[in-house]
Chain A
Amino acid sequence: MRPQQLIPSIGRRCRPRLPIVLSPQRRNNSYTVSVDEPSDARPADPPAPRARSAPTPVPDEPTVEEPSLGKSDILLGTEEQALATPGLTFADGHGLRGPTGKGRQTRRMNLYQAIRDALGTALATNPKAIVYGEDVAFGGVFRCTMGLTEEFEQGIAGFGIGYASVGGCAIAEIQFGDYLVNEAAKLHYGSGGAYPLNGGSLTVRAPIMSVGHGGLYHSQSPEGFFLGAAGLKVVIPRSPIQAKGMILAAIRDPNPVIVFEPKILSRPDAVRAIQLLSNPPPSLAALLPAKLRPPNPAPSIQLIDLRTINPLPAAAVSEAVKKTGRVVIVHEAGKQGGVGNDLAGEIGRRAFEYLEAPIGLHAGAFDF
C-alpha cells in the first residue's frame, strides 16, 4: 500500500494517490512531476561528478602581512598622531597618503559604522558572502542579509561552519557559542587541512565588554575563554578604523576568526576621549591634579596595542619587554583566567632576567 499523505497542521489525510510508473522512454522525455506527486523514479541522468572546490573569487591577497601588534609612544603631540593606527596597511599597497600622495578620502565613523562599511565591502566583492545572525537586518541594501530570531542562537555557528565548508564566506553575529571551540576551531586540523573548501571562511562578530549601562549580562569580557581554542583566531580592535581593517582581514582569512567588538567604541566620542586622556593639552594639564599630571620630563612609555589574542603573540611582546624591563598589562576583563595572566606568565618565562619590577596587571580597567 502506498503511504497516505499527511497534511501536517490539520491532521487530515488526503486520498491515497496512485503510484506513477515511469517507463524509461518517458523518463527521457522532459517529464516533470509536481511536488505533490510522489515518485520513486531515479532522477534522470545523474550529472557527472564534479571537482569539489568552490570556484569562489578569493579577494586580493593582502600585499603586506596583516599586523597583529602596533607600537606607539603613549604621549602624542597631535590629534592626527593619536588617531593614526600604527601597522595599518591598505590593500592597494599605498600608505596613509594614498596612491595620489595627497592623502586618502576619509570619513569619521564610530565602530558600528566602520563595521558596516567593512561588511559592505565584503558583500560587494564576494558573491558568496552572507551576513547573518540574531536580529541582523540591514534593510534591502545588501542582497544577502537575513534576519534570524533569537531562537536560533545555538545553530548560528554551526550553520556558518556548514556554509563555509562548501566554499562560502559566512559572517555571523552572535552572542556566544561553544561550537567555535569544538567544531570550527578543529575542522581544518581534523580534516587534514581539507576543510573548509577553497574560499570558505567563517567570521564571527560578537560585542563584548561594558558600556556603562549593561548590568551583569551585557558587560562581560569573555575573551579569555577562547584563549585555549587552538585553531581559532581571536582579535579585538581598539578603534573603528582597526575594526574595519580587522573585519576585512578576518573575512579573508581561511581560519575561523572571532572579532570581539568593545561596545564602548560605539560611542561617537570614544576615540577622542582616549586621546584626551593620553594627551592632555597644556591648558588642561594645568587643571589636572598634580598626581595625574605627566611628570617632567615624561618617562618613555611604549604602548603595545595587542590586537590578536589568539594566537597570542607572546614572543613579540616579550622581546619588547626585554627592552624596557617593566611592563603593566591593562585590560577590562577580570584578573583570573584572562589574557593578562596568560601574557604575564609568558613574559615571566621568557624575559625573567630582564625584568626590573614585578609584572603589573591592571584588570577590570574601565574608565567611562
Chain B
Amino acid sequence: MATSRAFLTATRPRRTATLPARITARSLITGPPPSVPPIHGTHETPTSTPLPSPNPLPAFHIPSAPVPHARQEDGKPLYVSGSQAERQARAGRMSSPLRRGTHESWWTPEMGFFNAVAKTIPTFRVLDEEGHLVRGAHIPEISKEEAIRMYHIMTLVPIVDNVLYQSQRQGRISFYMQCAGEEAATVGSAAAMLPNDEMYGQYREQAALLYRGFPLKDMMAQCFGNVEDEGTKGRMMPVHYNAPDLGFHQITSPLATQMPQAAGAAYAIKLDENRQGDCVICYFGDGAASEGDFHAALGMNSVLGGPCIWFCRNNGFAISTPIIDQYAGDGIASRGPGYGLDTIRVDGNDALGVLSAVREARRRAVEGKKGVLVEAMTYRVGHHSTSDDSSKYRPMEEVQEWTVVDNPLYRFRAFLVARGWWSEAEEAALLKKNKSEVLKTFSRAEKLPKPKLGEMFNDVWAVQKGEEMPSVISEQRAELGRLLKKYGDVWAPWRKERKRFVEEGEDVMDCDGRGA
C-alpha cells in the first residue's frame, strides 16, 4: 500500500504538471458556460468562486469524556418515531434535512435495510366482487344520471370492441385493441374528471374517450380512416384517436411518451392563471411504467409541479410479459413515494372505488398543483391487440375466471340494482339500442370513401400564411400526380385503388406533370 502510493507520487507529477489547469474547469456536458469562453489556450475559463480545496479539517481534539450512549443500555432505539426525541432531532439537532437530500429522516444507530415503504400497499375498494358495499366503505356522491351514464359507456365499449375486433379478423380494418376487463377503471376515472381537464391516453382508453362524449361516428371514422376522420385524416393506425375539443390528446404508438408530455401540459396549466382548477390525467400501463419516460415524467412533475393524475392501469400484462416478470417491488404504487407523490392503489374493477379515489386524487392534484399517482389493479381480459394470441402465454381458464368471478360490469350493475336505479328490462333495452347503434355506425363508416389523396401531403410541416409547402413535399405530390396521369387509368391496381378516395386522386393531378 505504502509503496504503491510512493510510486504514484514519484512518477505521476511529471504527467499531471503538463496538463493545463483548465481541464478541471467546467466541462462542456452542461452546455454553454455562463460567460464568454476564452480562445483555446490563452486564458482560464471563468467559473464560479473556487471551492476550498482540500476541504479544511477541523482542529484535532480529544473528547474530554466518552460520548454518552443515550439509553443504549435499555436496548431501545435512540429515537422512537413520533417521540419527543425524534421531534427534537427533526426540529434542529440534525443537520438540515434538505442538505441531507430528504425531507423527513432521523438518525438511528440501527442498520436497517428495507425494500418497501409499508409492508404491502393496501387496495382501496368500495364494492366487493359481488357488488356489495365493503364494510366501512363510503359511497361517493353520485347521481342516478351519472351512474347510468357510466354504466351506459361500460356496456357500450364491449360492443364497439367486439364489432371492431371481429371486423379486423375479417380484414375490414387493419388493427384493433380492446378495453375488455378494464371498463370500470377507465370509465370510473374518466367520470371523476371535469370537462376542461386534459387527458393523455396510452391506447386502450377508448372508454374514457366515449365517456367524454366522443361520437361513435368519429371513432369508427378513425378506425376506417375514412373521409369523416377529422382527427387523423386517415393517416394513423386504428385506435390512434385524438379529440382536441374534449381535451383528449393524440394517442401515439411509442410507449410512455404520453407521460413527459402530460408533465409538460400540467406545468403549463400551473403557470396559466386562466386554467387554475383544471387538471391533467395521464393513463399508462404496467409495462409502460418500466420505460425511462415514466421516471422522467414523475421526476419532472414532482419537482416542477402541475396538477396531474398518473393513472396506472395495472392489467397484469404487457403483451405477453406478466407483471411478475415486469417488477419485483410492490407494484407501481410503491414508486410514488419515491417521487414524493401522494399515491393510492385502488381496485380497478370497482367503478365506484375508482371514481372515489380519482376524485380525491384530482382534488389533491388541483389544490396542491402537483402530481398524484393512482394504481388501478385490473385484468386484461382481451388479447393485447389483434396482432396477439394470448392463449400462447396464459391459460384461457384464467381469463374465464376473471370474467366470471370479478366482472366489473356485474359489480357496478349490482350497485345500480341495489339502488333501485336499474332493471332487467332497462338493461335489455340498453343493450339492444347500443348494439343497433354500433352496427349502424359501423356499416355507414365502412361505406364512406377515404379522404382526398392529396391529404397525405398536407400538415407534414405546418405551413403558415404566405408560406409555401416545402419543395420536398410539393415535388413528391407533383410526382404522384404525374404517375397517376400516366398510369392511373391503365394499370389495374391503381385504377381500382383510386376509386376508394374522394375525387379519385384528381386533386393531386393539378400539376404540370413534370415532377422531380
Residues of A within 8 A of B (CB): 1-4, 6, 8-13, 19, 21-22, 33, 35, 38-43, 46-52, 55, 61, 65, 110, 112-113, 115, 128, 130, 133-136, 144, 146, 148, 150-168, 170, 173, 175, 179, 182-183, 186-195, 197, 207, 211-214, 218, 230-231, 233, 253-255, 263, 266-269, 311-316, 349-350, 368
Contacts and interface: CB of A to CB of B under 8 A. Distances in A.
Contacts of A158: 257, 259-261, 263-264, 293, 296-297
B393 to A, nearest CB: 28
A166 B265 contact: yes
Contact of A35 (B124, B340, B357, B367): B367
Given A35-B368, A266-B36, A311-B471, A6 B343 contact: yes
B475 interface: yes
Contacts of A186: 252
B268 interface: yes
Contacts of A115: 32
Interface stretch (B4-12, B270-278, B418-426): B270-278
Contacts of B344: 3
Query: A-B pairs with the 10 shortest C-beta distances?
Result: A155-B296, A158-B260, A162-B264, A8-B337, A162-B261, A311-B470, A40-B140, A163-B264, A155-B260, A1-B136
B362 interface: yes
A161 B262 CA distance: 9
B46 interface: no
Given A43-B194, A155-B263, A255 B462 contact: yes
Interface stretch (B201-209, B234-242, B383-391, B492-500): B234-242
B269 A166 contact: yes
B13 interface: no
Interface of B: 28-33, 36-37, 39-40, 81-82, 102-105, 114, 116-118, 121-122, 124, 134-138, 140-142, 194-196, 198, 200, 229-233, 235-236, 240, 242, 244-245, 247, 249-250, 252, 254, 257, 259-269, 271-272, 274, 277, 292-293, 296-297, 299-300, 303-304, 336-337, 340, 343-344, 355-357, 359-360, 362-364, 367-368, 458-462, 464-467, 470-473, 475, 516
A1 B353 CA distance: 12
Nearest to B345: A3
A50 B364 contact: no
B32 A134 contact: no
A11 B475 CA distance: 64
B141 to A, nearest CB: 5
Contacts of B249: 162, 165, 195
A159 B135 contact: no
B265 A162 contact: yes
A165 B232 CA distance: 16
A11 B114 contact: yes
A269 B36 CA distance: 11
B1 to A, nearest CB: 33
Q: Which of A49, A162, A179 has the most CB of B within 10 A?
A: A162
Contact of B465 (A61, A175, A211): A61
Nearest to A51: B245
A67 B121 CA distance: 59
